[in-house]
Amino acid sequence: MAAGKATAAPSEPPVRRRFKQHVLILTLAGTGEMEVEGRTYECPQGSIAWLDTSREYRHACARGSHGWSYLWFGMRGFGLDEAAEMLGARARPIIVSTVDEALSLQFSRIKQRLAANHADSEPENSAAVAAIIAALVANRSPERSSSAPQPMADIMQQARMELGRAWSIVDFSALMGLSSSQVHRRFRKVVGSSPMNWLRRERMNAAKRLLVQTDTPISEVALCCGYPDPLHFSREFRRVTGLSPTAFRDSRGS
């Protein structure tokens, strides 16, 4: 993954380089101009564009704008082609016309974590990317979502808010109004893994944050993250990180 902040002046030549990855671009100020396979789109302030850089494209400061400032991050991975298709990004790359503050903050934090190069930045950024994509899917425009299924993003957000709950595939099926096999397929399309593997990653990422940012006892961290048995939590945490919860906390200076 790569991320950055850029400012394009009106006199600068367009960016055309093919990176063979998906790139999200959040316009902070000014207006950008994006051309994808011969069609041109404006990137106004507050918009998000999804760009597949394996395709022919160019982007630059728009004519008449004094400059174009934007945050971007590039990503590769399973399920991104399907997510782009679900969002209609192949037909029209400007997928959000007005971004909210929470989503904008996620972009900034991805950039900051990559710049800091912390050992635990990769799982945190993976979780942030999944959250951004889920939010984009949930907030896509009505004309793009008229035939869309139940809002998976809402279910994912609910699970994040209730990590201590004993979730099962039956719960996801009931909330999404789909069969278990359909839920599995939907998750694999959007986040590249099964629902329970996705939930396990969310729990582990939340546990890491609690261990580093708070003095919460490990047994309570385990309970908050859906592990009523602290020993089970410790085994799972060691399997994922290579460290016990205590050693992980100590290694981060807490």
Give the structural domain span for 71.
Answer: 2-117
CA–CA separation, 153 and 130 (whole Å): 10
pLDDT digit string, tens, across residues 33-66: 999 877 888 999 988 999 988 888 999 999 889 9
Work out how many domains the chain is built from and give that number: 2
Mean pLDDT of 119-128: 75
Under a CB-based contact definition with an 8 Å cutoff, are residues 15 and 59 in contact? yes
Report the alpha-carbon angle 147-152-158, nearest 5.
145
> Which CATH number covers residue 209?
1.10.10.60
Percent of the chain past pLDDT 70, that is, above it, reads 92
Q: Which of 97, 117, 137 is the endpoint of a domain?
A: 117
pLDDT at 217: 93
Token pair of 201 as six digits? 């990653």
Residue 135, helix vs strand vs coil = helix
pLDDT digit string, tens, across residues 142-164: 444 443 444 677 788 788 888 99
> Do 107 and 164 lie in a common domain?
no
Residues with Cβ within 8 Å of residue 196, at least 6 apart in sequence:
167, 169
pLDDT digit string, tens, across residues 171-204: 888 888 788 888 888 888 877 889 999 999 999 9
Token pair of 100 as six digits? 């909210």
Report the alpha-carbon angle 40-41-46, nearest 5.
160
Q: Which of 72, 97, 117 is the endpoint of a domain?
A: 117
CA torsion through residues 230, 234, 240, 246, sign? positive
Structure pTM? 0.56
Token pair of 208 as six digits? 């890491």
Question: Tokens 């869309």 sit at which residue?
Answer: 148
- The CB-side HSE value for 2 (13 A sphere, CA atoms) comes to 7
Q: Which of 66, 96, 117 is the endpoint of a domain?
A: 117
In a domain, 248, yes or no: yes
Q: Which residues of 231-243 are buried (b: 16+ CB within 10 A; e: fewer)?
A: eebbebbeebbee
In a domain, 252, yes or no: yes
Q: In what order do the strands lie in the sheet with 57-61?
A: 39-43, 32-36, 57-61
CA–CA separation, 132 and 151 (whole Å): 14
Q: In what order do the strands lie in the sheet with 68-75?
A: 2-8, 68-75, 22-30, 48-52, 94-96
> Do 167 and 93 lie in a common domain?
no
> Which CATH number covers residue 24?
2.60.120.280
Token pair of 181 as six digits? 């096999």
